Amino acid sequence: MHHLSGIYLKEDKPTIIEGKTYYTFKMMYPQKEREYFVEDKKEYDDWIKNLSRAIGYFDLSTKYEIGPKLGNGKFGLVKLAVNKQTGQKLAAKFMTKKEMSNVDLELVRTEIEILKICQHPNIIRIYDVFENTDSYYILMEYCDGGDLFTRLEKTKFKIPEKKAANYIHQILAGLCYLHEYGITHRDLKPENILMSDKSEEATLKLIDFGLSKIIGPNETCTEPYGTLSYVAPEVLMEKPYNKQVDMWTVGVMAYLFCVGFLPFDHKDEREIAKQTMCDPTPYPSSYWNKVSNDAKLFVDGKLN
Ligand code: ATP
Ligand code: MG
């Protein structure tokens, strides 16, 4: 007897064993997988049909009209989805299980569990999750304004201080909420922040919780993660770290907003790591003498 809650069903190509064809599927548990071989195609189809029903798979197209592509994800596309009954516009993140390892599947599950908890104006809202034998679909709030990286590119990454303060305030509001739940984002960067609409007053929304982790109040963690230029030194040194690592990243982003370049940056990744771990934060005066003392104190505090 096997319980089916939280398992994944993966249909594989037929396997030939000693000249005989077997129809093959896998049941994937977090720590292990079981492979099944069925001699008869009809019997195989029955297994898939009944297991799918028992696991609770749904058909996306009965509820949503799928529209144009919004972006590329690691395991598939993000597309516009319109609720057929209400007309509400959402973003649907498609993920193909075939390309995912068991670890990847766990990361997706973490992302979904975290998003289900979060209800905050600066964190992307999740509305629905669908799954079938080969894909996963996350339906979330639709953001029409693109990501913050693309928005910053238009002004060569430098923005007026008032605007920078407003952006940082919104990012911190989202982070503060996450941290109160014991969730560390761990992959913050402008690419993972979306703008609610195209206007100048758009709300910032944190996305991409694939690398997030729930770390208890007195717990620490040592696994490496994240995008090099934004990563805190304790992570690179493989020292125990906690939610404070997100604050370092806020410092890196605030630095970028103030002067238009990153504090620790180089063609060679090893050099970025070395700068982050060993060098004092550089404040070249030709750029920083145009920035207020308050802003500089904030940045330096976060990068301390
Ligand atoms: P990567 O690892 O490359 O960041 P990913 O699998 O984590 O990919 P996301 O970052 O969540 O995928 O989404 C990929 C892209 O799809 C985003 O950069 C963005 O352009 C678009 N996108 C994602 N979510 C939304 C949304 N809610 N509204 C509008 N566009 C979105
Ligand atoms: Mg992303």
Establish whether residue 73 lines the binding site of ligand 1, counting it when its CB lies within 6 angstroms of any ligand atom: yes
pLDDT, position 229 = 92
Cα atoms found within 13 Å of the Cα of residue 260, Cβ hemisphere only: 11
Residues of the chain with pLDDT under 50: none
Instruction: Please give the pLDDT value at position 33.
Output: 87
Spacing, Cα 97 to ligand 1 middle (Å): 17
- 93 is written with which tokens? 């993140």
User: Is 265 noted as a catalytic residue in this protein?
Assistant: no
Residue of 125, 194, 203 with the most ligand 1 atoms within 8 Å of its CB, for mutation: 194
Ligand 1 centre and the CA of 268: distance in Å? 27
Q: Is 258 in the pocket of ligand 1 (CB under 6 A)?
A: no
| pTM for the full predicted model | 0.80
What is the reported pLDDT for 285?
97
Length of the chain: 304
pLDDT at 224 (0 to 100): 66
Write the CA distances from 85 to 60, 62, 63, 81, 82, integer angstroms.
Answer: 13, 10, 8, 12, 9
- Phi and psi torsions of 99, nearest 5°: -85, 0
| Buried b / exposed e along 197-229 (16+ C-beta atoms within 10 A) | eeeeebebbbbbbbbbbebeeeeebeeeebeeb
Cβ–ligand 1 distance for 148 under 6 Å, the answer no
